[in-house]
Amino acid sequence: MQQSPSPLVVVNHLYKQYESDAGVVTPVLKDVNLTIHEGEFVAIMGPSGSGKSTFMNVLGCLDVQTDGDYILSGQDVRRLNNEQAAELRNRVLGFVFQGFNLLPRRTAVHNVAMPLICAGKEKVEWEPRAIELLKKVGLSERLHSMPNELSGGQQQRVAIARAMANYPHVVLADEPTGNLDSTTSNDIMNLFRELNEKEGITIIVVTHEPDIAAYAKRLIKFRDGVLVYDGTVNDAGINA
Amino acid sequence: MSMTKQAILGEAWVSLGANKMRSFLTMLGIIIGVASVVLMLSIGQGVQNKIQDSINSMGSNLFIVLSGSASTGGIRMGSGSSPTLKTSDAQEIAALNGVVAAAPALPGNAQVVFNASNWATQITGITPDYLKVREWHLLSGANINDADVRGATRVAVLGTTTVENLFPSPDEAIGSIIRIKNIPFEVIGILESKGQSLEGRDQDDAIFIPLTTAQRKLFGNQFPDSVRQIMVKAESEKVMDKLENDMRDALRAAHHLAERSEDDFNIRNLTAVAESAQTTGEAMSLLLGSIASISLLVGGIGIMNIMLVSVTERTREIGIRKAIGAHESDILLQFLLEAVMISLTGGIVGMLLGCAGSFIATWTLKVQTDVSLVSIILSFVVAAAVGIFFGYYPARKAARLKPIDALRYQ
């Protein structure tokens, strides 16, 4: 594993709490400290309600922390305005969701190209890139299929190709295999591993299944909003 | 770094296409609104045109000075019944500032005969200025000239209705001899058709002869130089109020009227009469237009309603696109574009339907209509404005959704 010295993600004393309309404050993340370097493959585990998904949303600039610092690729995320945050999501981050979240009524190529289209690229630029990525994830036969014509595994492959489209530094995957059977899950995880090892892309996966987490190299565990474990997967006693 | 124009347009197109029926029904509100605005305005414009035509046929910036009323033994006879106006009064008025021309006239009714046909019509003794003042041009032949007036010649210029009623074919008219009160007149000219006056009288049912001829040979009375009316054309609308006073002063002086005595003449401002008719026409247009505008407003609210539903329905999709890095401005623009595309397409279709409707109205209901360029441009601009105005709120709502809330939306 080649580890670049520059930290991609730096989280310092991060807190997140929700306040209900009635004024009841529910702390979700408490004093989280974490540094992730470029090229890492990290799994985040924890039981439901442990705060792992909230943490992922903060990492993905989809949600903002209540307190503490989050530096992504050298930028203090809290200081960004909406447009700058959108740009950061577009250029630095790639998302893979549990529910695939492809755009309906658009072909696989169009879906994969969305981040490039959002970045203002012309069709002559985005189309070859989308086709190249779909070939890489093994969907060269389904370039022009609509999402509802694809199986769950195929949809997730399209989603991964989409996450890769704009050459992101880090791909965030929230329960990417949650809706898939075990064979397909392994295929998807192998794809992530391949992207990490061959292309050096940083991958952060949230999961509650140990055998999915086993594909990663580094493991982070949350319990009740507190980071309780940060070490290698092997030390945690999980085997691939 | 934001999306290209084509990409945003494409997204809007895909979204509209996904709900064809809904897009169409939303559009229908705008179609009906714009079509009714165009139709109503065209009917209103048609009415106004008709009024304007009548005004123009009368001539613009006109006064008519009528001789005063005669009263014998307590019975007052009405305007024009007393021979108080003279040809010289017309010359007095013509000398005033702001007068283009003052044309005396002596009208009367008589039976006209040509061969076996006869016809009762109005015969007016005039000077050459009269037709100029009325802005009435010759269709063929010659006008009455100064020599005719000086010599009291027996020549006549005929209106088209009179020609039709006297002659089997209009070509025969010029050069023919007609008899008015058994006096032979040579027809020297035919006038262009003027159509109906504001009161609905056929202005073409007329014969014009030299003023002097009328005074001495046809409608003569004990006052040889008297005229019934003087048509006065002012230079412009602006001078009319002042001119009315000047004319009154000049005529009173000429008639040697004492300070206290009443005028022995009447001055009527014909333009003012026309203006009130015009105002009625405008009020009608306004009424029709405002009723139609209400349906356009309802159509606009329909757009807002559907766009709000559309935002709610696509909340998740908006969330995905924001997660991928779509800018707020792009999402705003896309939703706005969807609303404008609906309203503008509706506007174009509505405009065509409105034009077709006004055409049908003209044919079947015989209502005069006129689709003006202004109403077409107006309906275009209003349709676009409705789209932007009613599309903005839903579009902003969509653009401002927080990505995390949008993604979590079920």
Higher pLDDT, B254 or B50: B254
Asked whether residue B24 carries a pLDDT value surpassing 60, the answer given is yes
Q: How many CB pairs under 8 A join A and B?
A: 76
Under a CB-based contact definition with an 8 Å cutoff, are residues A217 and A204 in contact?
no
How many other CB atoms sit within 10 Å of the CB of residue B117?
12
Tell me the pLDDT tens digit for each residue of B171-216: 888 999 999 988 999 999 999 988 877 677 888 999 999 999 988 8
Contact A136, A89 (CB under 8 A): no
- B76 pLDDT exceeds 70? no
- pLDDT value at position B161? 92
A162 CB near a chain B CB, below 8 Å?
yes
Question: Which residues of chain B does A57 touch, with a Cβ-Cβ cutoff of 8 Å?
Answer: 404
Which pairs count as long-range contacts for B361-364, CB under 8 Å and 24+ apart, including other chains? B361/B39, B361/B42, B361/B43, B362/B46
- Spatial CA neighbour of B54 closest among B246, B274, B238, B244: B274
With an 8 Å Cβ cutoff, is A146 touching chain B? Answer: no
d(CA B340, CA B12): 10
B218-274 tens-digit pLDDT: 887 767 788 888 999 988 888 888 999 999 999 888 888 888 888 888 888 887 777
Residue B404 has what pLDDT?
A: 87
Cβ burial of A74 (10 Å; 0-12, 13-18, 19+) is: exposed
Domain limits, CATH 3.40.50.300, in chain A: 1-92+169-240
Side-chain half-sphere exposure of B386, counting CA atoms within 13 A: 33
Specify the pLDDT at position A42.
96
Cβ-contact B292, B48 below 8 angstroms:
no
Across the interface, which of B1, B321, B402 has its CB nearest the CB of A114?
B321
Which A residues, 68 through 87, put their C-beta within 8 Å of a C-beta on chain B? 82-83, 86-87
The model's confidence at residue B66, banded by pLDDT at 50, 70 and 90, is confident
Q: What is the pLDDT of residue B375?
A: 82
Name the 3-class secondary structure at A157: helix
Residue B225 CB neighbour total at 10 angstroms:
15
Rounded to an integer, what distance in angstroms lies between the CA atom of residue B203 and that of residue B151? Answer: 27
Evaluate if residue B140 carries a pLDDT over 60: yes
CB within 8 Å: A103 and B317: yes
Q: Cβ distance A165 to A187 under 8 Å?
A: no
Mark out the alpha helices in A92-122 (DSSP H runs).
108-118
Structure tokens at B167: 């002659």
| Averaged pLDDT of chain B | 86
pLDDT (tens digit per residue) in B302-344: 888 988 998 888 898 899 999 998 999 999 999 999 999 999 9
B115 and A CB contact within 8 Å:
no
Joined together, the tokens standing for residue B137 give 């041009």
Compute chain A's Rg from CA coordinates.
18
Q: Is B250 strand, coil or helix?
A: helix
Paired residues of B284 in beta bridges: none
How far is the alpha carbon of A106 from chain B, nearest alpha carbon, in Å?
Answer: 8
> Counting beta carbons within 10 angstroms of the beta carbon of residue B261, is it exposed (0 to 12), middle (13 to 18) or buried (19 or more)?
exposed
What one-character DSSP code corresponds to residue A61? T
* Tokens, residue A33: 């400290």
* A118 closest CB neighbour out of B17, B326, B403: B326
- Using CA atoms, how far apart are residues A94 and B129, in angstroms rounded to an integer? 89
CA distance A74 to B323: 20
pLDDT of residue B5: 86
Residue among B1, B316, B322 whose CB faces A119 most closely: B1
Å between A103 CA and nearest CA of chain B: 6
A144 class by beta-carbon count within 10 Å (0-12 exposed, 13-18 middle, 19+ buried) = exposed
Distance CA(B410)–CA(B397), nearest Å, equals 17
Pick the CATH number of A1-92+169-240 from 2.60.40.10, 3.40.1190.20, 3.40.50.720, 3.40.50.300: 3.40.50.300
Sequential pLDDT tens for chain A (240 residues):
444 457 899 999 999 999 888 889 999 999 999 999 999 999 999 998 899 989 999 999 998 999 999 999 999 999 999 889 999 999 999 999 988 999 998 999 999 999 999 999 999 999 999 999 999 999 999 999 999 999 999 999 999 999 999 999 999 999 999 888 999 999 999 999 999 999 999 999 999 899 999 999 999 999 999 999 999 988 876 654
B89 and A CB contact within 8 Å: no
| Residue contact A162–B4, C-beta within 8 A | no
Tokens 């292309």 belong to residue:
A199
Sign of CA dihedral A127, A131, A132, A136: positive
- Tally of CB atoms within 10 A around B249: 11
Select from B132, B129, B176 the least CA-distant residue to B154: B176
* A-chain residue closest to B5, CA distance: A120
Domain boundaries, chain B: 5-54+276-408, 83-263
Q: Tell me how close the Cα of B375 comes to any Cα of chain A, in angstroms.
A: 39
pLDDT of residue A1: 45
